Amino acid sequence: MKYFAVALFILFVNPLISQHFYMKGRADEKPNARVRVITYADQFSMLEKTVAETFTDATGRFSLEGEISEVTFGFLALDLEKSQLYLSPSATYEIDIPYQDTLNSGSVFDRLPLQFSIQVAGDQGLQDDIGLFNQLYNEFIYNNAQAVYRSRNKAVLDGFRTEIDERFADRKSLYLKNYIHYAFVSLDWIGKRTKDHEVLKNEIVDKPILNNNIQYTDFFKTFFDNYLKNFVNGNYNLVVDRINLGQDYKEVLALLQQDTLLASNQEVAELVFTLLLSDMYYSADINKRSVIQKLKQLARASSFALVKNVATHFVVRLTALDYGYQAPEINLKNLRGDLVDSDSFKGKFILISWTTDNCQKCVYDQGLIGRMLPSFNDSVNLLVLHAGIDPKMVGEIAPNEKKHTQWVMVPDTSLLPEKYQIKTFPAYMLINPDGTMAYQYIPAPEEGMELYIRRFMTRYNK
């Protein structure tokens, strides 16, 4: 996947030495807002982690610093809205975040990226270089899609490659060179100008793993997504049996290593194995616990620090909000100002209803839920989490708090919608009496909500 129309910058540094980066700026009309710098714990699992955090002051100004050991792809986040950027050790950033259009509402996952301007000192001009490359690349693809992807016109692509080589000939950054190189590797492969086994040998198993280069890791995952689909299709029953019934992760890994090219690079083979397990996790025929068990085995047994980290991070990502794993902590105040936390409903099932401003469907559904709840004989409590700022909307949804029901306003600075991965409103999920997740995707009341709740109650009580 190419990151279109995004200015990027990269600086290659010694990965063993952590260094500070510094950031200051202003968010227009956003006093007391949460500002975060987020990176990936690794670029294979894509588990996010916050490396620096602060709040704006009364005028919207902020400053922060964080520590990184190498050039890092990440995000700048203002409350729950965010956009991509790259972080370089020892660099200094000045950020200006203009007022964000209030019409940019709905799920934070579906909004436009956070808009901001940036000035960087200490990146040796690489921001401009990668930004320029992305612009030229985007224009080339737009103007030559037919030649690149269908007619496979080699002359057109070679001409563009020569243009890029000449334009960036005097640049010294190895990161920049690798970024550009794997952009062309991807184009050659997608355009079927190179064969799979050639790419696997010449660009992956015989080359260093560039785990900090987003262009490389993105190509790696795209290539092996296609590779593993073909692999699983040809060995489906055997793969499923060894994941579900095998006691040792090596039994599944051995299937992959029947490919002699993969077998020639143990670290690559183990990384591909983590991708296979993560892909198979949601298959209807797969025992999820067996997948997690094998990832944990690999994290303990692997000789490679990168593989250990990736396997561990995949466990965290895959189990988040899955059945039987701890639900994200809730710690907010209800409409009366009383604390509502995860222990407030201890011993009861919790139906969480996510609502927002200007959502008439939210209002309609709450009426149906209110009529449905008595059928559970007090075994299910309702928690309405309103991710909005309009008190009139809350009053419309919750004119009177009832027994076993709590209404909570979720402030802009809360990370709860992000932790619960709210993608649309209204949204519903069920939490078990012990605080673990029952189901993340409970349907709307008129689409079988009661049936789903009873099904998961039965599962829990077995």
Residue 2 has pLDDT above 60, yes or no: no
Q: Which residues contact 243 (CB under 8 A, 6 or more apart)?
A: 252, 277, 280, 286, 287, 290, 291, 294
Token pair, residue 117, equals 């301007």
- Cα-Cα-Cα-Cα torsion 130, 135, 140, 146, nearest 10 degrees, comes to 110
Same domain, 186 and 153: yes
Higher pLDDT, 397 or 406: 406
Same domain, 186 and 93: no
Token pair, residue 364, equals 């309609």
Token pair, residue 44, equals 């294979």
Average pLDDT over residues 13-41: 88
Structurally, the chain folds into a number of domains equal to 4
Instruction: Kindly state whether residue 189 falls inside one of the protein's structural domains.
Output: yes
Express each pLDDT in 34-84 by its tens digit.
999 999 999 999 999 999 999 999 999 999 999 999 888 999 999 999 999
Rounded distance between C-alpha atoms, residue 92 and residue 206, angstroms: 36
- pLDDT confidence bin for 395, thresholds 50/70/90: low
- Cα-Cα-Cα-Cα torsion 254, 258, 261, 264, nearest 10 degrees, comes to 40
Q: In what order do the strands lie in the sheet with 81-87?
A: 48-55, 34-40, 72-78, 81-87
Same domain, 424 and 304: no
Instruction: Kindly state whether residue 60 falls inside one of the protein's structural domains.
Output: yes
Domain final residue pick, 252, 284, 319? 319
Same domain, 238 and 173: no
Identify the top-confidence range among 82-96, 122-136, 446-460: 446-460
Domain final residue pick, 64, 90, 122? 122
CB 440 within 8 A of CB 325: no
Same domain, 345 and 314: no
- The residue among 74, 8, 84, 17 whose CA lies nearest residue 40 is 74
Residue 225 has pLDDT above 90, yes or no: yes
Rounded distance between C-alpha atoms, residue 354 and residue 300, angstroms: 39
Identity of the residue numbered 140: F
Residue 215 has pLDDT above 90, yes or no: yes
Instruction: Kindly state whether residue 12 falls inside one of the protein's structural domains.
Output: no
Same domain, 450 and 385: yes
Other beta carbons within 10 Å of 74? 23
> What 8-state DSSP symbol labels residue 364?
H
Same domain, 291 and 357: no
Residue 16 has pLDDT above 60, yes or no: no
Residue 107 has pLDDT above 80, yes or no: no
Residue 5 has what pLDDT?
38
CA 68, 70, 71: angle at the middle one, nearest 5? 105
Same domain, 290 and 344: no
Domain of 240 in residue numbering reads as: 225-319
Percent of the chain with pLDDT over 70: 91
Domain final residue pick, 88, 122, 156? 122
Average pLDDT over residues 425-431: 97
Token pair, residue 450, equals 């009661």
CB 271 within 8 A of CB 309: no
CA distances from 128 to 52, 84, 89, 435 (A): 24, 15, 17, 48
SS3 of residue 392 by DSSP: helix
The whole-model pTM stands at: 0.89
Residue 345 has what pLDDT?
85
Residue 384 has pLDDT above 70, yes or no: yes
Burial 28-55 (b: 16+ CB within 10 A, else e): eebeebbbbbbbbbbbbbebbeebbebe
Residue 193 has pLDDT above 50, yes or no: yes
Residue 98 has pLDDT above 50, yes or no: yes
